Structure 1
């Protein structure tokens, strides 16, 4: 049996797991340890068994997503005899490193899903028998085809409103008035009435009528919309452990992205590592 440890309250961990399991062609039952409210959505988790902890679980293999010792450094033991696989994405390593236990987990293999900070990469090389990149492929899905601009975010509501405001500011600067559709699990209070709302999952790929894509700079958004980089605009948000600003800068450097607001979006102060750790991707 495959067990996946996906600590975090967002949708990103579960979306990444879907892609990993599809890419590796994992067959058989899957159990996921998560507290994410999105685990209740069958579009996201399908036939996975959702449990609150690893306690009492037997497994052939355990996948540890994103955080090599869990979200708060709580993961020190895994089921005996299980192969241990880590899924590594970019972290704010200086903030996460103090959470590592004195006796860290040792991984049979680590898949690097995007470039890491040098110190992060060095740590994983020391605790992993195998370290290799993995390019993810998502399960097949129908495109999201809407007219005009597509804004994608799973919350919280305040960030969703910021993304919509960002899109409207871009449109105003460019002198255009495109229809805008927000793809989000819920329609946030305060959304402009002219903005349509669509509860759709997965939210990629865009259909042929989509002219612009606006998202935050979470792992999945940057990865999934990479083929549409010329129409993708990113607004990174501060996270306690995920480095959206570095990820956004890398994405902007990979291809044309004439963003009229890129130079005036400041980098907000990072949350303190001891605060509520939101890591939605």
Structure 2
């Protein structure tokens, strides 16, 4: 069995892990995901999912004991980490003694993260994008790879109000509103605005000229036919929408450690 540790509030970690599993042709029945995500319904039911609240991950001793129990119970042979090298709260800082292969899916992080946390040693560092400073990492082997980031979309058909703009951002609501303001600045012909999100937008739901689509994957028809596409610069959506760059407008947002501004700078 392979244990995947995916920590994060959005859909990025879950989608990236499942893309990794499919790319490696790993049977879903051989996978366990340990996560805090509230979007559990987007994980294949064939994958065993162990959900814990944030307080669990903040308790490094409880996390470590549970990790050892999972390894023994499910005969885990590899741990694949899709969070920061030492964990979000330092929960992985002391797991060098865990007797199995450890793989880290590495993304661009701010240097300030490494000032606080000394990363454990990984058997394999899977570098997923350019701009990663390897001197901050502790690893035996480095592999440059690209986990497929095909956008998980819906082919559901809706009656489209053209011309239109399309905003895709899961959460939080404050950032969705900023993207909405950006889209409004680009309006010249009264374009309708579709907003794809997972958060409540009560003030925009009844706004004239706006359609809010909640709790569903992006619609393929809207992606392909939108006059302009507005998104943030989170890892998954950034690379999954690459084919729409000609009409895409970015707004990087500040994150504690993920560096969306650097990602935009290096790729646009």
User: Do these two structures clear the TM 0.5 threshold for a shared fold by scoring above it?
Assistant: yes
- Contact conserved, 2:4 with 2:79, CA < 8 A, in 1? yes
Structure of greater relative contact order (alpha carbons < 8 Å, 6+ residues apart): 1
Q: 1: distance between equivalents of 2:82 and 2:95?
A: 15
* Structure 2, gaps ≥5 residues long: 53-62
Match of 2:60 in 1: none
Match of 1:246 in 2: 262
User: Is the aligned partner of 1:163 residue 2:179?
Assistant: yes
Which residue, 131, 141, 145 being the options, matches 1:116? Answer: 131
Scaled by the length of structure 1, what TM-score is found?
A: 0.77
Which residue, 228, 231, 237 being the options, matches 1:221? Answer: 237
The secondary structure found in structure 1 opposite 2:103 is strand
Match of 2:91 in 1: 74
Match of 1:274 in 2: none
Scaled by the length of structure 2, what TM-score is found?
A: 0.80
Q: 2: distance between equivalents of 1:244 and 1:71?
A: 17
Q: 2: distance between equivalents of 1:2 and 1:25?
A: 13
- Contact conserved, 1:62 with 1:78, CA < 8 A, in 2? no
Alignment RMSD = 2.4
Match of 2:19 in 1: 19
Cα deviation, residue 47, structure 1 = 3.4
* Structure 1, gaps ≥5 residues long: 253-281
Cα deviation, residue 110, structure 1 = 1.2
Q: 2: distance between equivalents of 1:116 and 1:204?
A: 31
Which residue, 145, 149, 155 being the options, matches 1:134? Answer: 145
The secondary structure found in structure 2 opposite 1:108 is strand
- Contact conserved, 2:149 with 2:239, CA < 8 A, in 1? no
Cα deviation, residue 201, structure 1 = 4.2
Q: More helix by proportion, 1 or 2?
A: 2
Aligned length: 240
Q: More strand by proportion, 1 or 2?
A: 2
Cα deviation, residue 23, structure 1 = 1.9
Q: 2: distance between equivalents of 1:144 and 1:207?
A: 12
Match of 1:275 in 2: none
- Contact conserved, 1:18 with 1:138, CA < 8 A, in 2? no
The secondary structure found in structure 2 opposite 1:15 is helix
Match of 1:178 in 2: 191
Q: 1: distance between equivalents of 2:190 and 2:165?
A: 10
Cα deviation, residue 11, structure 1 = 2.3
Match of 1:64 in 2: 81
- Contact conserved, 1:3 with 1:63, CA < 8 A, in 2? yes
